[in-house]
Amino acid sequence: MRVHLIDPSGDVIPYDHALAGALARRGLDVELVTSRFVHGPPPVPLGYTVSESFYRLATRLGERAPRRRRAVKLAEHVPDMLRYRRRAAAADVRHFQWLPIERIDAHLLPAERPRVLTMHNVIRREAVDLRLARRMDAVIVHTRHGAELLGDADNVHVIPHGAFEHLTQLEEERPLPAELAEVKRPVVLYFGVVRPYKGVDVLVEAFQQVEDAELWVVGRPLGLSMERLRRLAPPGRVRFVERYVPDAELPALFRRANVVALPHRNVDVSGVLSAGLAFGKAMVMSDVGGFRELVDDHGAGLLVPPGDSDALAAAIGGLLADPEERLRLEERARAAAAGPYSWDRIAEQTTAVYERVLA
């Protein structure tokens, strides 16, 4: 079976590569159709091919001039989608991961069937996205809650977002920066792009009540005032690493963290959660979306009400003071990563969806 995984902007590039590799291990002929990743080296493809056929002009700009890059991408988008349509017949299954301009993309889909779409964050979807979903032969979501939001339609399939186990097996792991390596106190880690809906401000405020520990906020800010976060931060106990962190630097951060915090106000799934599972970390997370399902089904984490800094502080402080509870949560996380959240299991379920729509 020949499969195209299409992610024009590389919006979920770690997921793309993990899924492509797992499908290839099952014997599928997989091609990832995407664009050049401008923020650093992408994962090395193992058993599948990569075509960087989208946004060839825009990605030459790299990380420079982001506004200009977005404008060039917009100009390239329709021609690139039409170019893909002309070669879509080479695949048996066309599996779209993310479509950047869905109001337009709904009219640019290739005529060949079957077509599959993964909706990575159903909670943030609009009506236009649902119309796009109805043009697909199958829709994959990562949580039961996501399926409910889509009306539990017959063509909707729940397949979890896998644990990013490849991050634990990198050929190169860079050590912590010197200023972080010197820290002796327990560490709570927030990792990922700093966006308003991720509740980083709630976490920083909560840390005013967490004693004898440090909070590391690691990720480039997007749409959130870092000055406000610094004003909220208790002096000397919160460090900000305001940049994109490549994969080679990620393992040292997760291995060092005593607790990983996911204080989101609203979310369906999170790639950071997938990294936390892979590294077997004790996690405190908001009681929202797929976080709730992970804890209900597998006990891999503690839940707190979203936006409640007092509850978040109490949960973090309690975990830091209770090594046996941390160990229990770490064991649950590793078991989930090795079982239902393993990529081999996910590839098996995804292949079953392909076979169903082909039939």
Q: Collapsing DSSP states into helix, strand and coil, what is residue 53?
A: strand
Between these two residues, 271 and 42, which has the higher pLDDT value?
271
- Tell me the mean pLDDT in the region 254-279: 95
Quote the pLDDT of residue 126.
56
Where residue 216 falls among pLDDT bands split at 50, 70, 90? very high
Quote the pLDDT of residue 293.
94
Query: Residue 301: pLDDT above 90?
Result: yes
Where residue 124 falls among pLDDT bands split at 50, 70, 90? low
- % residues pLDDT > 70 (the chain): 98
Query: Residue 285: pLDDT above 60?
Result: yes
- Tell me the mean pLDDT in the region 147-154: 83
Phi/psi of residue 146, nearest 5 degrees: -65, -40
Residues belonging to the chain:
359
- Tell me the mean pLDDT in the region 125-153: 81
- Tell me the mean pLDDT in the region 286-311: 95
Quote the pLDDT of residue 66.
75
Report the mean per-residue pLDDT for the chain. 92
- Tell me the mean pLDDT in the region 316-342: 97
Query: Residue 304: pLDDT above 90?
Result: yes
Q: CA 138, CA 12: separation in Å to the nearest integer?
A: 19
Quote the pLDDT of residue 29.
98
- Tell me the mean pLDDT in the region 123-150: 81
Residue with tokens 């590391």: 216
Query: Residue 211: pLDDT above 70?
Result: yes
Spatial neighbors of 120 by CB under 8 A, at least 6 apart, are 11, 12, 15, 97, 98, 142, 161, 268, 269
In this structure, is the dihedral angle defined by the CA atoms of residues 277, 281, 282 and 283, taken in order, positive or negative? negative
Q: CA 341, CA 338: separation in Å to the nearest integer?
A: 7
User: What's the token pair of residue 79?
Assistant: 């021609």
Answer for the pair 237, 213: CB distance below 8 angstroms, yes or no. Answer: yes
Q: CA 23, CA 338: separation in Å to the nearest integer?
A: 17
- Tell me the mean pLDDT in the region 344-355: 98
Query: Residue 323: pLDDT above 90?
Result: yes
- Tell me the mean pLDDT in the region 303-321: 97
- Tell me the mean pLDDT in the region 48-71: 86
Quote the pLDDT of residue 129.
67
pTM > 0.85: yes or no: yes
Quote the pLDDT of residue 350.
98
Quote the pLDDT of residue 163.
96
Query: Residue 59: pLDDT above 90?
Result: no
- Tell me the mean pLDDT in the region 72-99: 94
- Tell me the mean pLDDT in the region 329-333: 98
- Tell me the mean pLDDT in the region 100-113: 89
- Tell me the mean pLDDT in the region 196-201: 93
Name the nearest CA neighbour of 4 among 37, 43, 28, 33. 33
Where residue 127 falls among pLDDT bands split at 50, 70, 90? low
- Tell me the mean pLDDT in the region 263-283: 94
Domains of the chain by start residue, with CATH: 2-162+342-358 (3.40.50.2000), 166-338 (3.40.50.2000)
Quote the pLDDT of residue 228.
86
Quote the pLDDT of residue 222.
84
- Tell me the mean pLDDT in the region 110-138: 82
Highest averaged pLDDT of the listed ranges 37-41, 88-92, 97-101:
88-92
Radius of gyration of the chain (CA): 20
